[in-house]
Amino acid sequence: MTGLRWGILATGGIATAFTSDLRTAGLDVRAVGSRSQESADAFAATFGIPHAHASYKALVADPDVDIVYVSTPHPMHHANARLALDHGKHVLVEKAFTVNRAEAEDLQALAAEKGLLAMEAMWTRYLPHMVRIREIIAAGTLGEIRAVMADHTQSLPTDPAHRINALELGGGALLDLGIYPISFIWDVLGAPTGIQATGRLLETGADAEVATVMTHVGGAVSTSLASSRTAGPTAAIVMGTEARAEIGPFFLAPSVLRVIGPDGVVLEEFDGRPAPDTGRGMQFEALAAERLVAEGNIAGDILPIAETVEIMGALDEIRRQIGVRYPGEERTDG
């Protein structure tokens, strides 16, 4: 099957950005579902979407929808994605895929049972400059990779009720911001063999800052930093024995990649920023999802579902070390 018919589940800011990119790329958006008819109608009018549903259940039951983009807050991802899978729809689920590994494993198993694609919407993995850095690493240009450093730091609202600060909404810097550098590190170095984490918690119990030091196969090391209280460089550096690669500004969005030799000479500069009116870059993950379904590859490739599950497990361990638990989670630290 090619040319999937998309349904958009929820109508918030990230759904707006994603749907805008789908439209720019010429993809087929057939329906939107919200918790109110008014919100669904307004979203549908903005993007010229034929079907506007007043519930998520009505959206996933729409026979004109093949794949559902889940854009609700983290704690709702599992139930919303499960609803779509149970109705025979492929799912592209916003990061973080779920709030913990157990939920991710459940979606992985259900998707496999039904022969459907369940994919994390980690848009960074599919951007042109990320495609290029994988090519550079594979070619051996950087030599042996010994270290990776990445941060995602922003100055976000301090209101305790805001989703970034509220535990009941999956709040905290780690799941909202830190997942980007950790997923990037995983992409370059693979799964960590050891994790050390530290962080600072807010009065709400959510993490405001969290830093990690991880070891990887072959003894390579990585560091990550996430913060919702300060705006840092949000840059990434991959250091090898022959050269290093620097990505910025804002490495997780379309950005500039520079390969720099030991003497400081720039060996390559790749500008992955889009031309005007060509989209923000979220269309690349959607196109990848369509390709995977067309190929019958529900396991995924650039970010396989199995890797998403492992990353969620690492985030669980980081939260355990810094003392963050979401409502309903059992204690795992004794």
How would DSSP label each residue in 90-108?
EEEEESSSSSSHHHHHHHH
The predicted structure's pLDDT at residue 326: 94
CA angle 76–78–80, rounded 5-degree value: 65
244 in a structural domain: yes
Q: Which member of 57, 89, 95, 114 is catalytic? A: 95
Domains: count for the chain:
2
> Alpha helix locations (H) across the chain?
13-24, 37-47, 56-60, 74-86, 101-114, 128-138, 173, 179-189, 283-295, 305-322
Residue 245 C-alpha from the chain's centroid: 22
Q: What is the pLDDT along the chain (334 residues), one digit of tens a residue?
A: 358 999 999 999 999 999 999 999 999 999 999 999 999 999 999 999 999 999 999 999 999 999 999 999 999 999 999 999 999 999 999 999 999 999 999 999 999 999 999 999 999 999 999 999 999 999 999 999 999 999 999 999 999 999 999 999 999 999 999 999 999 999 999 999 999 999 999 999 999 999 999 999 999 999 999 999 999 999 999 999 999 999 999 999 999 999 999 999 999 999 999 998 889 999 999 999 999 999 999 999 999 999 999 999 999 999 999 999 999 886 444 3
- What residue numbers bound the domain in which 257 lies? 128-280
Closest CA to 123 of 164, 72, 69, 86: 69
Residues 105 and 150 in one domain: no
Closest CA to 215 of 194, 185, 245: 194
What is the CATH number for 227?
3.30.360.10
Residues 11 and 61 in one domain: yes
DSSP string, 221-286: EEEEEEESB------EEEEESS-EEEEESSTTSS-EEEEE-TTS-EEEEEE-PPPTTS-SSTHHHH
For residue 109, which phi and psi values (nearest 5 degrees)?
Answer: -65, -40
Other C-beta atoms closer than 10 Å to the C-beta of 299 total: 16
The predicted structure's pLDDT at residue 330: 64
Residues 56 and 104 in one domain: yes
304 in a structural domain: no
Residues 136 and 241 in one domain: yes
The helix-helix angle for 179-189 and 128-138 (nearest 10°) equals 30
- Identify the domain boundary among 253, 280, 307: 280
- Identify the domain boundary among 121, 151, 182: 121
Starting at the edge strand that comes first in sequence, how are the strands of the sheet with 244-248 ordered? 192-201, 207-216, 221-227, 145-153, 236-240, 244-248, 256-260, 266-271
Residues 169 and 214 in one domain: yes
212 in a structural domain: yes
State which amino acid sits at residue 291: R
Both structure tokens of 273: 């920023």
Distance CA 95, CA 308 (A): 10
Provide the phi-psi class of 198: left if phi over 0, else alpha when psi is between -120 and 50, else beta.
beta
Residues 139 and 106 in one domain: no
- Identify the domain boundary among 121, 156, 191: 121
The predicted structure's pLDDT at residue 333: 43
| pTM for the predicted model, two decimal places | 0.96
The predicted structure's pLDDT at residue 2: 54
Residues 40 and 132 in one domain: no
Residues 233 and 179 in one domain: yes
288 in a structural domain: no
For residue 164, which phi and psi values (nearest 5 degrees)?
Answer: -70, -20
Residues 110 and 136 in one domain: no
What is the CATH number for 12?
3.40.50.720
Residues 246 and 275 in one domain: yes
Both structure tokens of 169: 């909404």
72 in a structural domain: yes
82 in a structural domain: yes
Other C-beta atoms closer than 10 Å to the C-beta of 159 total: 10
32 in a structural domain: yes
The helix-helix angle for 179-189 and 305-322 (nearest 10°) equals 120
187 in a structural domain: yes
Sequence-distant (6+) residues with CB within 8 A of 334 are none
Residues 148 and 252 in one domain: yes
Residues 93 and 201 in one domain: no
- Annotated active-site residue 95? The verdict is yes
